[in-house]
């Protein structure tokens, strides 16, 4: 058996990288900065997708698909948007290769130069709003509520699997509305959808808030976000929802005739979450033994391991376990019966612990005689012997308990690591220890930039539920009306 994982307390980064690899979630690819998401990791992402997709459709959205390539002129139409993404763009300039005359491989065919360069989408506002121009003429065509599941490319220089890669998977919602009020309501609604998903599915508490002007999405009027705290005390932006105003409608000349028979520009939103949620899931809950997965997102919710010496013993155990498995499956619980004889039971226990399977059942010949079964919880690493009769109902209840317990533990950790700070010395001392710092800010970009320069801390958000409270900016001493959340972040 391989040695254990690195300890989080000793090297959090190495622990994370090793866990991603050993749990079979993903690996680095031959393409720099890109990842291969392996079947077990992709199974978790698929569960996230299904849950989110259901939530989007329940709020009236439909899925569509738009091109991977964005003409450079499209990206340039919204000036702030173009400037915000320029440094991350991968650009296609030619469309053909040919044999090198020297006989050494392939070269770019100079005769295949594109008339206009194509950007591999870093985000799809530009190409989608160019399409919306043809879709929208009247207020009767609105709202348009579209989501797409896609990949995007942002040419990151420093990468880490799931958290920051050159190519990643995500969903991006793009909506068009007849009024400003409708667009703002959509932006806030989708932020709520993300917060519900994070807390009820991922068991990860989040703070809902708005970004400061310097942290807004390029081209947005307002950016809303959910911020989570990881176990190493760093923040992670888990989702964003943007009110785009009429910026993209103006850039792409998307006008409609309103109810008063007047021509006006449409109002826009965009919102998205990505495979970065996989990194959040790992870092919010997992321990030195491996993954800890909330049951709602676990590919395998229950694993059953028979402990036997002979094929005859296995047959007897299987005969008793088959009805238990059938009943679990009938309740929609994903269950695996691991009777593979290539590995010993001790290895299997460690492997499923590493993979974060919420409930493990073990049954041997003595259990059969006693009509019992061993039930182990991954989140608490506790186990107990239960009567095999009625174990299915116990497991159904237990999975719900585990989901709640994982959230409660993460919430206690988050709440214990929010630190109100009132002086600059306190701020500098606390930021080295990690956590969310709740502090007054004078509202200027100059102060925000200086704090970031001196401490590497950023304003994660201005919480939506923040209380008006007169105070002094922690850095400048100028007047401040409320506290904001600072942290170092991924």
User: How far apart, in whole angstroms, are the C-alpha atoms of residue 399 and residue 405?
Assistant: 10
Q: Say if CB 186 and CB 177 are below 8 A apart.
A: yes
97-147 per-position pLDDT tens digit = 999 998 889 999 999 999 999 999 999 999 999 999 999 999 999 999 999
Structure confidence at residue 158 (pLDDT) = 87
**Domain regions of the chain by residue span:** 12-71+127-285, 302-398, 418-487
The first and second tokens of residue 160, run together, are 């880490």
Query: Which residues have a Cβ under 8 Å from the Cβ of 120 and sit 6 or more positions away?
Result: 68, 69, 70, 89, 90, 91, 92, 153
First-to-last alpha carbon distance for the chain, in angstroms, is 33
Predicted pLDDT at 2: 55
Give the DSSP H/E element, type plus range, for residue 392: helix 391-416
Topology of 418-487 in CATH?
Translation Initiation Factor IF3 (3.30.110)
pLDDT score, position 400: 98
Cα torsion through 196, 202, 208, 210, rounded to 10:
-110
Which ranges constitute the DSSP H helices of 162-258?
180-196, 247-251
* CATH 1.10.275.10 is the classification of domain 12-71+127-285: no
Report phi then psi at 223, rounded to 5: -120, 120
Q: DSSP E strands: which ranges in 21-96?
A: 26-28, 35-37, 62-63, 69-71, 90-94
- Kindly report the CA angle at 63 between 57 and 67, in degrees rounded to 5? 160
Q: What are phi and psi of 262, to 5 degrees?
A: -110, 150
Check residue 1 and give its pLDDT: 43
Place of tokens 């491996």: 290
CA 485 → CA 124, 209, 281, 437, distances in Å? Answer: 30, 9, 21, 6
Alpha carbon distance 42, 212 (integer Å): 34
Domains 12-71+127-285 and 418-487 share a fold: no
Distance CA 84, CA 201 (A): 32
Structural tokens at position 24: 């079979």
Pairing mode of beta strands 26-28, 35-37: antiparallel
Give the pLDDT of the chain (490 residues) as one tens digit per residue.
Answer: 457 899 999 999 999 999 999 999 999 999 999 999 999 999 999 999 999 999 999 999 999 999 999 999 999 998 889 899 999 999 999 999 999 998 889 999 999 999 999 999 999 999 999 999 999 999 999 999 999 999 999 998 888 999 999 999 999 999 999 999 999 999 999 999 999 999 999 999 999 999 999 999 999 999 999 999 999 999 999 999 999 999 999 999 999 999 999 999 999 999 999 999 999 999 999 999 999 999 999 999 999 999 999 999 999 999 999 999 999 999 999 999 999 999 999 999 999 999 999 999 999 999 999 999 999 999 999 999 999 999 999 999 999 999 999 999 999 999 999 999 999 999 999 999 999 999 999 999 999 999 999 999 999 999 999 889 999 999 999 999 999 999 999 9
Integer angstrom CA distances of residue 452 from 109, 166, 419: 46, 24, 18
Q: Torsions phi, psi of 433, nearest 5?
A: -90, -20
Q: pTM score, two decimals? A: 0.96
> Which distant-in-sequence residues (6+ apart) come within 8 Å of 58 by Cβ?
none
- 19 phi/psi in degrees, rounded to 5: -65, -45
Helix axis angle, 39-58 relative to 276-285, nearest 10°?
110
Q: Outline where DSSP puts E strands in 266-311.
A: 267-274, 302-307
What residue has token string 């797409």? Answer: 148
Q: Which fold has domain 302-398?
A: Rossmann fold (3.40.50)
Residues 305 and 189: beta-carbon distance below 8 Å: no
**Helix pair 424-433, 445-455: axis angle to 10 deg:** 50
pLDDT at 156: 86
Separation of alpha carbons 245 and 133, rounded Å: 16
Q: Using CA atoms, how far apart are residues 119 and 136, in angstroms rounded to an integer?
A: 25
């Amino acid at each position: 058996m391989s040695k254990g994982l690195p300890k989080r307390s000793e090297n959090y980064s190495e622990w994370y990288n090793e866990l991603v690899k050993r749990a079979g979630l993903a690996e680095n690819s031959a393409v720099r900065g890109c990842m291969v998401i392996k079947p077990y990791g992709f199974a978790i992402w698929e569960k996230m997708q299904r849950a989110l997709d259901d939530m989007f459709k329940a709020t009236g959205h439909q899925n569509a698909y738009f091109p991977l390539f964005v003409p450079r002129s499209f990206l340039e139409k919204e000036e702030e948007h173009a400037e915000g993404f320029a440094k991350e763009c991968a650009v296609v300039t030619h469309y053909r290769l040919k044999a090198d005359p020297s006989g050494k491989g392939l070269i770019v065919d100079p005769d295949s130069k594109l008339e206009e360069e194509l950007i591999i989408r870093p985000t799809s506002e530009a190409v989608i709003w160019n399409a919306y121009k043809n879709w929208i003429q009247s207020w009767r065509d609105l709202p348009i509520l579209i989501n797409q599941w896609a990949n995007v490319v942002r040419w990151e220089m420093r990468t880490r699997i799931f958290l920051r890669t050159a190519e990643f998977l995500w969903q991006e919602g793009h909506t068009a509305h007849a009024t400003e009020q409708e667009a703002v309501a959509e932006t806030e609604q989708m932020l709520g959808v993300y917060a519900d998903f994070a807390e009820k599915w991922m068991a990860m508490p989040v703070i809902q808030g708005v970004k400061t002007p310097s942290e807004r999405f390029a081209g947005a009027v307002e950016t809303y976000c959910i911020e989570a705290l990881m176990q190493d005390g760093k923040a992670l932006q888990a989702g964003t929802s943007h009110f785009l105003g009429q910026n993209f409608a103006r850039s792409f000349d998307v006008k409609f005739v309103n109810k008063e028979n007047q021509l006006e520009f449409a109002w826009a939103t965009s919102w998205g979450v990505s495979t970065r949620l996989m990194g959040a899931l790992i870092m919010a809950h997992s321990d030195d033994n491996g993954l800890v997965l909330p049951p709602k997102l676990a590919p395998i919710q229950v694993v059953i391991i028979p402990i036997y010496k002979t094929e005859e013993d296995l047959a007897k155990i299987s005969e008793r376990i088959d009805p238990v498995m059938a009943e679990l499956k009938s309740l929609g619980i994903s269950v695996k019966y691991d009777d593979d004889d290539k590995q010993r039971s001790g290895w299997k226990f460690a492997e499923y612990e590493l993979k974060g399977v919420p409930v493990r059942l073990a049954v041997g010949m003595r259990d059969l005689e006693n009509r019992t079964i061993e039930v182990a919880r991954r989140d608490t690493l506790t186990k107990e012997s239960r009567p095999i009769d009625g174990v299915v109902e116990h497991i159904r209840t237990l999975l719900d308990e585990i989901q709640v317990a994982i959230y409660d533990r993460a919430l206690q950790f988050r709440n214990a690591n929010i630190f109100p700070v009132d002086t600059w010395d306190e701020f500098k001392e606390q930021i080295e220890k990690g956590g969310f710092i709740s502090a007054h800010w004078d509202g200027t970009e100059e102060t925000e930039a200086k704090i970031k320069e001196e401490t590497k801390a950023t304003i994660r958000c201005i919480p939506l539920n923040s209380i008006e409270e007169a105070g002094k900016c922690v850095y400048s001493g100028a007047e401040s009306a409320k506290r904001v959340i600072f942290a170092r972040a991924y």
